[in-house]
């Protein structure tokens, strides 16, 4: 699910279809000043106003504006999630029955839910090598569910939402398989441009960048645009390392070798081929690793040292879609939280401790209030569930920016770029609304502890004190001897990990 900045999204979607401001004003009974303040991000729209704005843009509301659970039982969204995962690993045998199950359910015949079905069916048919005309018809039908008067020849400077990028990516791959790489490149570049312009939180966007850049680099190699292909490989490898745990890095390294070969930089090909080989071995893709050796010999005339890795005899480890927790029978987001809490024998006080007061949690469970995104994130993490599975989020400007800053700080820590992390953290600390929530104060304290540790070459006792201080914000009675008794948020897990690492470092 995606996280959108509500005001900015409404403005960009209005411009996407060429709708005049006066038409929005007439439909919503808004005055010019209010709409101007909303579209220029100086005023957060009321939920009813935003709903009416999106209706006037001819977007289906079901599955887009509200919690997905308001219309379907949770089992449906587990099916959706699993279908997405099995298609990502290319398992047609698993995907086909899941798709049939979803198609048979009520509510999947219009709007956003139908677009999801059409997107996944198009990808399945692509994997099954069905006729391109049939796949293109599915893609067009899917786009028209959310993109009024969609014209694939007029995609420049347009934002793309929901399943639209996936639908277009499938079309690009099919065109490339037919040999029309130029058309495929145009589509991929339009998607990337639209995602860059889309007001979504960075992590949501950038998960899609690596696969798009991999396709783009492959298509550019086929058209002989090696410089651009090399640039796409280098950028894609960085996104893959940060956002997808390096899963696509071997493919980027192989494409990089082809691009370097095309540029006649033969002396640089060996390192990329080695990286592709060892990357596949680390991912337990031994067959792909063997193929790299063959390609290096046949296509590049290169032999490289395996350093004994070929004798490790890693067994192939099939990718298995992850378990997101067992479904619960309910029809709303709040009810699911209540049932999940009861199943774990947690009291209101235990689940809410350090996150919000128990009255707020009770009102969320009774669907009286929606709850702040930071509160919901932490609650769902303690329940062991992925909140992004259930909701599209429309955020205020302040929350949207805070989430992006928080995400970027984590990226800088992953890169060990502590100087930039400090700069971004300083900006985040100026956001008073963000610091109203205990879980966010905890994040700031944890970040400061990591920055403190980065300035010391040896473990420092003050680092341990800083970690404990942060941990006790949400776990005031934390006992390191009874960690297994706690249901933990991501922040708490990270803090305890650092806590343990300190003792490891000090022996």
CATH of the domain at 49: 1.10.260.40
The pLDDT of residue 41: 64
Compute the average pLDDT of residues 220-248: 88
The per-residue pLDDT for range 444-468, each reduced to its tens digit, is 999 999 999 999 988 899 999 999 9
| Count of beta carbons in the 10 Å neighbourhood of residue 306 | 15
Q: Is residue 54 part of a domain?
A: yes
d(CA 95, CA 126): 12
CA distances from 53 to 7, 60, 113, 147, 148 (A): 10, 12, 20, 15, 15
The verdict on 410 and 477 lying in the same domain is yes
The pLDDT of residue 332: 77
Structure-token pair, residue 80: 């959706």
Contact 137, 106 (CB under 8 A): no
Structure-token pair, residue 303: 């032999």
d(CA 70, CA 74): 10
∠ CA(470), CA(475), CA(478), 5° rounding?
A: 100
Q: Is residue 417 part of a domain?
A: yes
Compute the average pLDDT of residues 360-388: 88
Structure-token pair, residue 220: 């550019």
Torsion of CA 346, 350, 355, 361, to 10 degrees: 60
Q: Is residue 7 part of a domain?
A: yes
The pLDDT of residue 22: 61
The verdict on 365 and 413 lying in the same domain is no
d(CA 497, CA 488): 12
Confidence band, pLDDT 50/70/90 cuts, at residue 369: confident
Full residue range of the structural domain in which residue 477 is found: 396-505
Q: Where do we find the tokens 């985040």?
A: 428
The verdict on 403 and 415 lying in the same domain is yes
User: Is 445 strand, coil or helix?
Assistant: helix
Looking at the DSSP bridge assignments, the partners of residue 101 are: none
The verdict on 315 and 341 lying in the same domain is no
Name which of 117, 3, 12 is nearest 54 in CA terms: 12
The verdict on 299 and 258 lying in the same domain is yes
Q: Which residue has the higher pLDDT, 336 or 359?
A: 359
The verdict on 54 and 34 lying in the same domain is yes
Q: Is the dihedral of CA 285, 307, 416, 445 positive or negative?
A: positive
Q: Which residue has the higher pLDDT, 350 or 484?
A: 350
Q: Which residue has the higher pLDDT, 4 or 352?
A: 352
The pLDDT of residue 59: 65
Q: Is the dihedral of CA 38, 41, 44, 45 positive or negative?
A: positive
The pLDDT of residue 66: 46
47-61, 107-121, 422-436: least confidently modelled range: 47-61
CATH number reported for the structural domain that contains residue 281 in this entry: 1.25.40
Give me the number of domains the chain comprises: 4
Predicted structure pTM score: 0.80
The per-residue pLDDT for range 131-158, each reduced to its tens digit, is 999 999 999 999 988 887 788 777 777 8
The verdict on 359 and 256 lying in the same domain is no
Looking at the DSSP bridge assignments, the partners of residue 393 are: 3
CA distances from 262 to 157, 186, 189, 271 (A): 31, 21, 22, 16
Max mean pLDDT among 72-76, 323-327, 394-398 falls in 394-398
Residue 63, pLDDT > 60, answer no
The per-residue pLDDT for range 183-219, each reduced to its tens digit, is 999 999 999 988 877 766 666 677 788 899 999 999 9
The per-residue pLDDT for range 66-98, each reduced to its tens digit, is 455 556 666 777 788 889 889 988 899 999 999
The pLDDT of residue 314: 64
Length of the chain in terms of residues written: 507
d(CA 179, CA 223): 10
Residue 169, pLDDT > 80, answer yes
Residue 1, pLDDT > 60, answer no
d(CA 353, CA 363): 15
Structure-token pair, residue 120: 């996944």
The per-residue pLDDT for range 307-324, each reduced to its tens digit, is 877 777 766 666 656 555
Mean residue pLDDT of the chain comes to 84
The pLDDT of residue 311: 75
The pLDDT of residue 211: 92
Compute the average pLDDT of residues 475-490: 84
Structure-token pair, residue 177: 């398989």
The per-residue pLDDT for range 271-291, each reduced to its tens digit, is 999 999 998 888 888 888 889
First-to-last alpha carbon distance for the chain, in angstroms, is 43
d(CA 107, CA 14): 26
Structure-token pair, residue 221: 């190699």
Residues whose CB is less than 8 angstroms from the CB of residue 413 and which lie 6 or more positions away in sequence, other chains included = 421, 447, 450
Residues whose CB is less than 8 angstroms from the CB of residue 439 and which lie 6 or more positions away in sequence, other chains included = 354, 355, 374, 375, 377, 378, 473, 474, 489, 491
d(CA 276, CA 206): 22
Residue 159, pLDDT > 90, answer no
The verdict on 341 and 317 lying in the same domain is no
Q: Which residue has the higher pLDDT, 474 or 60?
A: 474
Over pLDDT 90: what percentage of the chain? 46
The verdict on 410 and 476 lying in the same domain is yes
Confidence band, pLDDT 50/70/90 cuts, at residue 113: confident
């Amino acid at each position: 699910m995606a996280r959108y900045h509500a005001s900015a999204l409404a403005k960009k979607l209005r411009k996407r279809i060429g709708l005049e401001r006066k038409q929005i004003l007439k439909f919503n009974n808004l005055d010019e000043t209010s709409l101007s303040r909303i579209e220029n991000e100086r005023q957060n729209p009321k939920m009813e106003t935003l709903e009416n704005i999106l209706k006037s843009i001819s977007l289906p509301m079901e599955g887009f504006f509200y919690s997905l659970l308001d219309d379907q039982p949770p089992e449906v969204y587990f099916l959706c999630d699993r279908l997405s995962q099995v298609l990502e690993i290319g398992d047609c045998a698993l995907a086909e029955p899941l798709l049939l199950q979803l198609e048979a359910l009520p509510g999947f015949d219009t709007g956003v839910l139908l677009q999801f079905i059409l997107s996944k069916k198009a990808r399945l048919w692509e994997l099954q090598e069905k006729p391109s005309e049939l796949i293109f018809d599915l893609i067009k039908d899917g786009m028209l569910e959310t993109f009024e008067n969609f014209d694939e020849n007029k995609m420049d400077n347009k934002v793309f939402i929901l399943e639209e990028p996936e639908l277009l990516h499938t079309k690009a791959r099919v065109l490339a398989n037919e040999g029309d790489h130029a058309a495929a490149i145009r589509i991929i570049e339009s998607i990337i441009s639209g995602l860059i312009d889309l007001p979504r939180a960075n992590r949501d966007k950038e998960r899609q960048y690596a696969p798009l850049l991999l396709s783009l680099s492959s298509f550019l190699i086929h058209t002989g645009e090696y410089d651009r292909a090399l640039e796409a490989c280098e950028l894609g490898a960085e996104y893959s390392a940060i956002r997808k745990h390096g899963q696509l890095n071997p493919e980027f390294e192989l494409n990089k070798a082809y691009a370097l070969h095309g540029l006649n930089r033969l002396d640089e090909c060996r390192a990329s081929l080695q990286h592709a080989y060892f990357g596949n071995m680390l991912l337990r893709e031994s067959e792909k690793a063997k193929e790299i050796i063959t390609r290096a010999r046949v296509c590049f005339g290169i032999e490289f040292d395996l350093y004994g890795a070929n004798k490790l005899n890693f067994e192939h480890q099939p990718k298995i879609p992850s378990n997101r927790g067992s479904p619960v029978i309910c029809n709303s987001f709040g009810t699911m939280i209540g049932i999940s809490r009861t199943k774990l024998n947690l009291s209101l006080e235990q689940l809410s401790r350090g996150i919000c007061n128990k009255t707020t949690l009770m009102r969320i469970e009774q669907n009286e209030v929606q709850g702040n995104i930071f509160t919901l994130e932490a609650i769902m993490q303690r329940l062991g569930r992925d909140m992004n599975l259930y909701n599209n989020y429309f955020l205020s400007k302040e929350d949207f920016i805070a989430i992006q800053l928080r995400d970027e700080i984590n990226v800088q820590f992953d890169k060990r770029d502590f100087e930039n992390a400090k700069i971004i953290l300083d900006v985040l600390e100026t956001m008073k609304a963000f610091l109203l929530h205990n879980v966010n104060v905890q994040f700031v304290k944890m970040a400061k502890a990591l920055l403190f540790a980065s300035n010391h070459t040896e473990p420092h006792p003050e680092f341990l004190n800083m970690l404990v201080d942060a941990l006790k914000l949400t776990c005031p009675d934390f006992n390191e001897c009874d960690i297994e008794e706690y249901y933990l948020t991501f922040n708490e897990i990270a803090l305890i990990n650092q806590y343990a690492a300190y003792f490891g470092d000090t022996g």
